[in-house]
C-alpha cells in the first residue's frame, strides 16, 4: 500500500500535486468552453439557420483525434499544458453548445412574451430570464463535459508528460509498477465522480424553483404545506439524484 502512493521522482509531483494539476488541466478548458459556448449558443438561438452548421462544425472538431490536434498545436504552444487544454476546450463545445441552445429554447413562449411586454429589453431578457431558466440544461451539459475532460487529460502524457495523473500510466509501464496504473485509473474516476457530484449540488443550489419531485400529486402536496421548504427537504432529493 505504501508503494501505491510512492510516486517516481521523474513526475516531479506528489500525488496531491498531480490531482491539482489534473483538475486544472481538465476544468480550465471546460470553463473556457463555457465562456465560448455562451455567445455561440446565443447566436444560434438568434439566427436559427446558424445552428445546424455550428453543430456540424463542433462535431467535426470533436472527431479530430487529440494526437492530431497536439501535432498541429505543438508548433505554436510547445510541449505545455496549453497544448493539452486547447483541444479539451474545443471538445467541450460539442456538448455545451447544444445544451445551452436547448436550455435557452426551453423557455416557454409565454414567459418570453410576458418579459417583452413588461419592458425587459433583449439584454435583460437574456440575463434575467433566458439564462437562469437554462441553468439546469447548462449544468447537465457541464456534467458531461467535465467528466469527459477529466478522463481525457491523461492523453497529455504523450506530449512531454503533460497528462497529470495520466503520467502515472507511463511510469507504470517503464518501471513495471502496475499499482501506479491502478492509482491513476482510480484517482481519475474518483475525481470525475466528485466533480459530477459538485455540479449536481450546484444545480440544486441555483434552482430552488425546480419541481423536486415529478408528477402532479407532489405539486399539490407542496402547495398544501404551509411552511417553506427546509434544507432537509433539499437533501433528500439530492440523495435521490445521486442514486440515479
Partner 1 sequence: MIRIDSVTKRYPDGTVAVDRLSLEIPDRSITVLVGPSGCGKTTTLRMINRMVEPTEGAILLDGADVRQQPVNTLRRSMGYVIQNAGLFQHRTILDNIATVPRLLGWDKRRARARAAELMERVGLDSALAKRYPYQLSGGQQQRVGVARALAADPPVLLMDEPFSAVDPVVRKGLQDELLRIQGELGKTIVFVTHDIDEAIKLGTMVAVLRTGGRLAQYAPPAELLSAPADPFVEDFLGADRGIRRLSFFTSAGLELTSEPVVDVDATAEQIAAAAAAGTPYLLVTDRDGRPLGWSEPGELTAGAVDPDRLLSPGRPFEQGRDSLRAALDGAVLSPTGWAVAVDGTGKVSGVVSQAAVGEAIRAAHAEDRTDAKVAG
Of the chain, the end-to-end C-alpha distance in Å amounts to 32
Does 208 sit near partner 1 (CB under 8 A)?
yes
Distance CA 12, CA 191 (A): 21
- Taking the complex as a whole, the smallest distance from the CB of residue 120 to partner 1 amounts, in Å, to 7
Distance CA 149, CA 92 (A): 8
Does 111 sit near partner 1 (CB under 8 A)?
yes
Does 209 sit near partner 1 (CB under 8 A)?
yes
Find the binder of partner 1 among 12, 59, 116, 173 (CB under 8 A).
116
Nearer to partner 1, 45 or 134 (CB): 134
Residue 106 CA: distances (Å) to CA of 76, 87, 193: 40, 29, 28
Find the binder of partner 1 among 44, 96, 100, 133 (CB under 8 A).
133
Distance CA 158, CA 67 (A): 8
Does 210 sit near partner 1 (CB under 8 A)?
yes
Does 129 sit near partner 1 (CB under 8 A)?
yes
Does 179 sit near partner 1 (CB under 8 A)?
no
Does 110 sit near partner 1 (CB under 8 A)?
yes
Find the binder of partner 1 among 72, 211, 236, 240 (CB under 8 A).
211
Q: Do 96 and 33 contact (CB within 8 A), yes or no?
A: yes
Q: Do 8 and 170 contact (CB within 8 A), yes or no?
A: no
Set of cell numbers at residue 107: 423557455
Distance CA 17, CA 97 (A): 32
- Taking the complex as a whole, the smallest distance from the CB of residue 216 to partner 1 amounts, in Å, to 10
Comparing CA positions, the residue from 216, 210, 217 lying closest to residue 237 is 210
Find the binder of partner 1 among 102, 179, 196, 222 (CB under 8 A).
222
Residues that bind partner 1 in the complex, under the rule CB under 8 A: 108, 110-121, 124, 129, 132-133, 135, 207-211, 219, 222-223, 226, 228
Amino acid at each position: 500500500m505504501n508503494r501505491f502512493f510512492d510516486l517516481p521522482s521523474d513526475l516531479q509531483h506528489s500525488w496531491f500535486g498531480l490531482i491539482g494539476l489534473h483538475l486544472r488541466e481538465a476544468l480550465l478548458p471546460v470553463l473556457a468552453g463555457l465562456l465560448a459556448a455562451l455567445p455561440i449558443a446565443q447566436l444560434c438561438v438568434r439566427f436559427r439557420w446558424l445552428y445546424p452548421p455550428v453543430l456540424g462544425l463542433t462535431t467535426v472538431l470533436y472527431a479530430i483525434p487529440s494526437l492530431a490536434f497536439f501535432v498541429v498545436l505543438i508548433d505554436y504552444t510547445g510541449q505545455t499544458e496549453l497544448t493539452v487544454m486547447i483541444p479539451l476546450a474545443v471538445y467541450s463545445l460539442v456538448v455545451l453548445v447544444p445544451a445551452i441552445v436547448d436550455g435557452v429554447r426551453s423557455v416557454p413562449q409565454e414567459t418570453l412574451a410576458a418579459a417583452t411586454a413588461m419592458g425587459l429589453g433583449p439584454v435583460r431578457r437574456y440575463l434575467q430570464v433566458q439564462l437562469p431558466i437554462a441553468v439546469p440544461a447548462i449544468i447537465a451539459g457541464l456534467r458531461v463535459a467535465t467528466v469527459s475532460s477529466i478522463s481525457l487529460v491523461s492523453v497529455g502524457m504523450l506530449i512531454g508528460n503533460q497528462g497529470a495523473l495520466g503520467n502515472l500510466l507511463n511510469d507504470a509501464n517503464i518501471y513495471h509498477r502496475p499499482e501506479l496504473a491502478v492509482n491513476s485509473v482510480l484517482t481519475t474516476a474518483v475525481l470525475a465522480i466528485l466533480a459530477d457530484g459538485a455540479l449536481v449540488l450546484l444545480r440544486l443550489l441555483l434552482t430552488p424553483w425546480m419541481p423536486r419531485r415529478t408528477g402532479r400529486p407532489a405539486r399539490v402536496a407542496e402547495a398544501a404545506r404551509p411552511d417553506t421548504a427546509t434544507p432537509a427537504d433539499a437533501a433528500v432529493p439530492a440523495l435521490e439524484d445521486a442514486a440515479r
